[in-house]
Amino acid sequence: MNAALGWALAVAAVAVGYAVYGWAGVVLAFSVIVFWLLLQFSRALRVLRTAGSSPVGSMANAVMFNAKLSKGMRLPDVLKLTRSLGRRIGDSETPEVWAWADESGDEVQVQLQGGHVVGWQLARAASSSAQAPAA
């Protein structure tokens, strides 16, 4: 959600609360706003707790993660999909590049700008064992 839209809705809730119920409506509007902020904070902490409990830069399946990515996704949504914090690639660049790899060696590099996905690239691991011919 756009931050300006969120603030506009909060101001509208306070104004409507005052117009309809007076000061009791303002208190109710502030209570709803604080409850909403606590829900968002709790959601963010849950995502970070889950991501922090896994090894950095690892994930279950890089190919499935690659398929679920889309431009404009927010960083918390990416962390929900990976269930891990990413491994930083490079220095302070714009856009930032973070990488996640699975056990088979497949890696997804995600480019973030302003906390939103602007691009990504899947790097498949080279197969180290040769296929035996079928008998």
pTM: 0.75
Domain 56-123 in CATH 3.40.50.300? The answer is no
Using the Cα atoms of residue 49, residue 54, residue 55 and residue 59 in order, give the sign of their dihedral: negative
pLDDT value of residue 1: 59
Domain boundaries, the chain: 3-51, 56-123
Question: What percentage of the chain's residues is helix, strand, coil (to nearest 5)?
Answer: 45, 20, 35
Average pLDDT of the residues in 68-74: 94
pLDDT value of residue 128: 44
As a whole number of angstroms, the distance between CA 59 and CA 29 comes to: 41
pLDDT value of residue 59: 92
| Packing angle of the helix pair 23-52, 75-82 (nearest 10 deg) | 40
Tokens of 69: 């990515």
CB atoms within 10 A of CB 49: 9
As a whole number of angstroms, the distance between CA 7 and CA 24 comes to: 20
Per-residue pLDDT tens for 87-112? 998 777 677 899 999 999 999 999 99
